[in-house]
Structure 1
Amino acid sequence: MEYPKYIEVDGQRLELDTDYRTALKCFEVIEDPDIDDVERSLAVIYLLLNDIPKVDLNKVMELLLKYLSCGKAKDEAAGTQKDMDLKADENYIIASFASDYKIDLSSVESMHWWHFITLLDGLSGDCVLNRVREIRTCDLKDYKGKARERMAKAKTQLALPVKMTAEDQKALDKFDALFLSSENRLDDGDTLLDGGE
């Protein structure tokens, strides 16, 4: 299969940085709640094109998002439970590529993003990543007694990290600032007591 190496906008051919690690950096930027939409778009464009071209950037961004989704429509994945995070599951992905394909991702100089995703999608059901994904999506109603307890514990241990929205983070920061402000701190001689003391 021929993977895309460039996008074309307004008659200009713009070469892509196709390495999977670059795409992973793009997703980190896209999911970062501290980056506004304009900065996010410019960062993704710069990462994938190593430049900010003098063409319609909305068209560029549309094509780059299509590239990052491996040519799939946005709503193809809608409605499915998220069972994997490329960053959080990095170690499981590395181990799975090593066991299934004998590929050491740390020594691979370059791998096209679409090829990486094709291999990721083709991992066996026995690899560590897919076993973790299976635990994350299992229905606890299918288990009884001790097996249910073990599976519930495994689901908790292997749960994906909760990503806060920018609003959630601001609220948490506001709470922390209020809680840790000098007016609300205990003096050095003060102690907190349990119960009725």
Structure 2
Amino acid sequence: MDPNIVLGRAPSSVKVGGAPVSIATSFRAGIRAMQAADDPDLGDAGRAQAILLIYFGRGAVHDGVRRIELPGAVNADPAGALQAALGFLNLNEPQKPKRMLGKAAAKGARLWDWDYDAPRVIADFQREYGIDLADPALDMHWWRFWPLFRGLGDSSLTMTAMAARGADPSEYEGDARRRLVERQRELALPARTEEERLRLTSLLWGLDV
């Protein structure tokens, strides 16, 4: 991680084309960026534009009309700006191989939804850290929020939900398998695409789709 926020301050800007550009640091901006990156209704270009606007967008008024505009450095190098934004989102950590939670996760099972699962993470942060994520006055830097999120205990609502969704029932037998499937049905996320609808149908009705 660079810089080390234990020894220094969390960043408030990123380099785009060699120049520092202010970036939205709030944990809410980070969540919105993750939602945009996972939105099946947006193509690659749409996701990229959404992330740039979330992180770099600035309000401007032209002829009495308020608009969201991007800084000149971002417009001049959108690819570089996107790379910088994604680096910020990932805490500038080097990319690591994805850890698969069973074959279901490898097949693309969704483990988390920031809208549907919001109550879980709100409860977990209140219980484990005494932080009220629902407080509109809370201004937490993304580089503080994300380590706290990833550091939630294995018994937290958040981590148990993701572990159950990512588990592969074929790796279990008997009562353990039955309990897992029941738990996955309880935790099933709303389907957004045809592929997800087929997977949800298979889960709810025990079909081999």
TM-score (norm 2): 0.68
- Seen in structure 2, the aligned counterparts of structure 1 residues 102 and 133 have a Cα distance that, compared at 3 Å, is same
2:98 to 63, 78, 90: 78
Tell me the distance in 2 between the aligned counterparts of 1:93 and 1:33.
23
Tell me the distance in 2 between the aligned counterparts of 1:124 and 1:36.
35
1:40-91, Cα deviation, whole Å (9 max, x unpaired): 32221121112412231111111111111222334x2535235333333221
Tell me the distance in 2 between the aligned counterparts of 1:39 and 1:138.
31
Matching of residue 144 in structure 1 with residue 165 in structure 2: no
TM-score (norm 1): 0.71
Give the aligned residue type for 2:157: V
Overall identity of the aligned pairs, in %: 25
Q: Give the root-mean-square deviation of aligned CA atoms.
A: 2.5
| Secondary structure, counterpart of 2:84 in structure 1 | helix
Instruction: Give the ranges of 4+ consecutive aligned residues of structure 1 lying more than 6 Å apart after TM superposition.
Output: none
Tell me the distance in 1 between the aligned counterparts of 2:145 and 2:189.
21
- The aligned runs of 1:120-131 (5 Å cut-off) are 120-131=149-160
Aligned to 1:53: 71
Aligned to 1:88: 116
Offset of residue 143 of structure 1:
4.6
Aligned to 1:186: none
Aligned to 2:34: 27
Q: Contact 2:57–2:71 at 8 Å: present in 1 too? A: no
- Seen in structure 2, the aligned counterparts of structure 1 residues 30 and 136 have a Cα distance that, compared at 3 Å, is closer
- Seen in structure 2, the aligned counterparts of structure 1 residues 86 and 70 have a Cα distance that, compared at 3 Å, is farther
Q: Which runs of 5+ in 1 are unaligned?
A: 170-197
Tell me the distance in 2 between the aligned counterparts of 1:156 and 1:48.
36
2:43 to 29, 36, 49: 36
Give the aligned residue type for 2:122: I
Q: Which has the larger radius of gyration?
A: 1
Aligned to 2:162: 133
| Secondary structure, counterpart of 2:32 in structure 1 | helix
Q: Contact 1:94–1:105 at 8 Å: present in 2 too? A: yes
Tell me the distance in 1 between the aligned counterparts of 2:98 and 2:192.
18
Q: Contact 2:29–2:54 at 8 Å: present in 1 too? A: yes
- Seen in structure 2, the aligned counterparts of structure 1 residues 59 and 138 have a Cα distance that, compared at 3 Å, is closer
Tell me the distance in 1 between the aligned counterparts of 2:38 and 2:161.
22
Across the two proteins, how many residue pairs are aligned to each other?
Answer: 165
Q: Which runs of 5+ in 2 are unaligned?
A: 59-69, 106-110, 197-209
- Seen in structure 2, the aligned counterparts of structure 1 residues 20 and 89 have a Cα distance that, compared at 3 Å, is same
